[in-house]
Amino acid sequence: MRRKRYRGTHPRTFGEKYKELAAQHYASEVEKVIARGQTPAGSHRSICVNEILGVLNPAPGETALDATLGFGGHTQALLQRLRPGGRLFAIDIDATELARTEARLRGQGFAEDVLVIRNLNFAGIAQLLPEAGGGFDCVLADLGVSSMQLDNPTRGFSYKNDGPLDLRLNQARGAPACALLQAITEVELAKLLTVNADEPHAALIAQQIKQAVAPITTTRQLANVVSAALKRFPEITEHKKTLARTFQALRIAVNDEFAVLDRFLDLLPWCMKPGARAAILTFHSGEERRVEAAFQRSLASGMYASIADDALRPSPEEQRSNPRSTSARLRWAIRSTRPGTAG
């Protein structure tokens, strides 16, 4: 295999990390990356796997749903518990990563009779019910973006790598973030940064973005504009957090993530069998608030028999091993024994 040429002794950019991107040929090198507490390029380290399995308690013969397939780590763990006789539905809106994950899982022997994969937004889970026998015994949703999306500069999800300012989970639909920045007003942008990411310097960031001399079309351009604005105020010290929140807010807006999540949470109890279990992994306060509120509403209405009193956290060991797990919160709900129908 011919490697991509790069300067120096170690690869730095995403495309240069040829060993990490071909894990099947360089397993030992990939293990070294993981041992350093890093995520190998082109992959994703699943979070709270043991906690999720404990909450969902999947059993042989049951029907499960992984509403956010991603790299497939949670799916693989669930499948091991569903055998023999069980079946898992896995969906994802990101057609690019879904195709890669499906090829890998099919290559591991997970055929259509045990693993059904669909390119579908989880707001459309009711579409799966006829094929799933009317409902699911356990449902998992791992919200947010995966490491494959964050680390690949062509997707434009991170300020750390230069690339097109896109941020769409499905690049075949909607407009990219660069188009949003040109169309939105300064007041609207400041509100977006506040609502979507709790950004304390929203007004300043919005002003500088809208006053930029040239249209902002790349991740590096956006990061430079935001950084330049912050440097004018020595009292503002958490530049990286503001950059991360800015990109988060734009990503949520471009993909309409809150509206999609609200729709999923409304449909969820109607798609669960009596006594079924659901687990949702969130990564920021906007998601967390919505999940907690929706679970409380469905508990009060009698749709759920019980819900988590507090969110579960990754263990200290996992947080040290995988720093990207630090912000994760896991909430669960158990469906009441009253049957329902999707509507």
> In the listed set 254, 273, 293, which residue is the last one of a domain according to the structure?
254
**Amino acid 321: pLDDT:** 87
**Amino acid 5: pLDDT:** 61
> For residue 318, what are its two tokens?
């996992």
**Amino acid 342: pLDDT:** 43
Tally the C-alpha atoms within 13 A of residue 186's C-alpha that lie toward its C-beta. Answer: 10
Residues 85 and 213 in one domain: no
Residues 169 and 139 in one domain: no
Residues 122 and 187 in one domain: no
> In the listed set 234, 254, 274, which residue is the last one of a domain according to the structure?
254
Give the residue ranges of the chain where pLDDT is below 70.
1-44, 148, 339-343
Residues 136 and 71 in one domain: yes
Residue 301 lies inside a defined structural domain of this protein = yes
**Amino acid 1: pLDDT:** 43
Residues 168 and 240 in one domain: yes
Residues 170 and 126 in one domain: no
271-293 core/surface letters (b: 16 or more CB in 10 A; e: else): bbbeebbbbbbbbbebbbebbbe
Residues 76 and 135 in one domain: yes
- H or E stretch covering 279: strand 272-282
Longest dimension (CA), the chain: 63
User: 162: how many CB neighbours lie within 10 A of its CB?
Assistant: 15
| Containing structural domain, residue 246 | 160-254
Q: How far apart are CA 71 and CA 104, in angstroms?
A: 9
| Counted domains in the chain | 2
CATH of the domain at 181: 1.10.150.170
What residue type is assigned to position 203 of the chain? A
**201 and 226 Cβ atoms separated by less than 8 Å:** no
Closest CA to 110 of 102, 119, 99, 118: 102
Residue 10 lies inside a defined structural domain of this protein = no
Closest CA to 110 of 53, 156, 66: 66
Residues 232 and 281 in one domain: no
Residue 250 lies inside a defined structural domain of this protein = yes
Q: Phi and psi at residue 137, in whole multiples of 5°?
A: -85, -30
CB burial class (10 A; 0-12, 13-18, 19+) of residue 169? buried
Residues 62 and 117 in one domain: yes
DSSP letter (8 states) at residue 16:
G
Residue 37 lies inside a defined structural domain of this protein = no
Residues 204 and 282 in one domain: no
Residue 128 lies inside a defined structural domain of this protein = yes
Residue 293 lies inside a defined structural domain of this protein = yes
Residue 171 lies inside a defined structural domain of this protein = yes
Residues 141 and 187 in one domain: no
Residue 107 lies inside a defined structural domain of this protein = yes
DSSP H helical ranges for the chain: 18-21, 27-35, 49-56, 73-82, 95-107, 129-132, 147-151, 177-183, 186-197, 202-210, 219-231, 239-255, 257-267, 285-300, 316-321
**Amino acid 25: pLDDT:** 52
Location of structure tokens 């188009």: 179
> In the listed set 254, 273, 289, which residue is the last one of a domain according to the structure?
254
Residues 144 and 272 in one domain: yes
**Amino acid 139: pLDDT:** 98
Closest CA to 76 of 122, 42, 44, 123: 44
Closest CA to 82 of 66, 67, 102: 66
CATH of the domain at 301: 3.40.50.150
